[in-house]
Amino acid sequence: MEFPSSSQAEAGLQREAASEESAVPPGRTGPQRTTRLLLLAAVLGVCNRNYWQYSDTDHYWPKYWLPFVHGTGLAPEQYRVGVKLTAWWLVQHLGWGFRHGFALMDVVSSLLAVFLLYDLLQRKRLVRYASAEMQWFASAAFVMLVCFYLAWSEFFFRPETLPTVGLAAVMFWLWSPRSSSPPSGSRQVVLACGVIAAAALQAWIRADVACLLNFGMLLVCFSRFGHGLSLPRRAAVLTSSAAIAVAGAIQLYIMRVMYPHTSYGSIPIVMARHDLRQPLTFPPFIFFILPIVWTGVYFWRQRAGEDGASAGLIVGSALYLILWIVMGKLDEVRIFIPFALALAPLTVELAVRRIRNDSAASGSDEATARM
């Protein structure tokens, strides 16, 4: 199969740019309200199912979470203690069960994630000025991806999965530019502080996510995508470096100061050899990773615009994928959900771009045939 060249595709997009805005009939509502309702329903459905899993744990193993609160659990889960300590604070001060605190954090973080990511999708020029039919397609595709990825959160479920999704989405949203003009000095300070604060919070849950996501942004700063971030190149280098340093310092504090005697027990640190001997771990990994691989391939093939934040996210995702394959259980795909869900707007944008490019190429072929 032959793909249209980038120049041919861009020419087709430019020819249609003048008529894009008028493609949506006046007075007709777009898909935004319906999509947000569907996202709300999908997220609350997932959180409801997670709540009943937490409830089963509270009722049948009421002391299951206490070893991690008291620092006697096994690594690496003992090092991901932020969500459990927050839930324990709610238990002590409000009389809640662990399940109530976990469920509250799941709802807040997952709603925050899907609405911020949908906002990023709506801000993409290719989607914002598309025809009504293409806008509905983009929104439907985004809802489908959200449902697909969140469904895996119940597989090897852990209370830190959805809070990590929320914080990763916040960091990606902060790194994504709002407009082509550079932000003011005060806005740069707010964005930088927001990224560092989100990385610090994430470090108490999963420091590796904060470090590699921001490391991807740091690497992108030295490429042609460096001007496509929400911060100028120099500020982006300083902010991403500070976020990595803060997350790494918190992780070291947890490991060396809070829980210096925690061990992995019989759990192997490197899981790749174990996974190779377990072929049943391959199908979940393959099914889950297909949309992510498609996104990476088409982003590279289409050289998709100047979206530095998406490029940084792809770099960070690739590094995290390697870390997951080497040190994580291959079928525990919930590990990668924060990156996968953050990539959903880019996946939809690439699908829309592919459709538009094919339409432009078909129109050009038809015009050539009539000559």
The confidence score (pLDDT) of residue 302 equals 77
| Mean pLDDT to the nearest integer, 280-285 | 92
Contacts with 278 (C-beta within 8 Å, 6 or more apart), sequence order: 330, 331
User: What's at 276, amino acid-wise?
Assistant: L
Pseudo-torsion of CA 269, 272, 277, 278, nearest 10°?
A: 90
| Mean pLDDT to the nearest integer, 69-85 | 94
Q: Is the dihedral of CA 213, 214, 218, 221 positive or negative?
A: positive
How many percent of the chain have pLDDT more than 70?
88
Collapsed DSSP state (helix, strand, coil) of residue 149: helix
pLDDT(277) > 50: yes
Radius of gyration over every alpha carbon of the chain, rounded to an integer in angstroms: 22
| Mean pLDDT to the nearest integer, 55-81 | 94
pLDDT(225) > 50: yes
* Span 49-59, pLDDT tens digits: 999 999 999 99
Confidence of residue 24 (pLDDT cuts 50, 70, 90): low
* Span 299-331, pLDDT tens digits: 988 765 568 999 999 999 999 999 999 999 999
* Span 238-260, pLDDT tens digits: 999 999 999 999 999 999 999 99
What does each C-alpha distance from 36 to 28, 117, 257 come to in angstroms? 17, 11, 43
Confidence of residue 12 (pLDDT cuts 50, 70, 90): very low
pLDDT(11) > 60: no
pLDDT(20) > 70: no
Confidence of residue 370 (pLDDT cuts 50, 70, 90): low
What is the spatial distance between Cα 78 and Cα 160, in angstroms, rounded to a whole number?
12
Confidence of residue 234 (pLDDT cuts 50, 70, 90): very high
The confidence score (pLDDT) of residue 87 equals 97
Q: What is the DSSP letter of 62?
A: T
Count of H-run helices and E-run strands, the chain: 15, 0
Element spanning 164, H or E: helix 161-175
Of the candidate ranges 21-25, 129-133, 343-347, the one whose mean pLDDT is the lowest: 21-25
The more confident residue out of 354 and 366 is: 354
What is the spatial distance between Cα 4 and Cα 336, in angstroms, rounded to a whole number?
32
Collapsed DSSP state (helix, strand, coil) of residue 163: helix
* Span 80-106, pLDDT tens digits: 999 999 999 999 999 999 999 999 999
Contacts with 151 (C-beta within 8 Å, 6 or more apart), sequence order: 46
* Span 163-208, pLDDT tens digits: 999 999 999 999 999 877 888 889 999 999 999 999 999 999 999 9
What is the spatial distance between Cα 286 and Cα 332, in angstroms, rounded to a whole number?
12
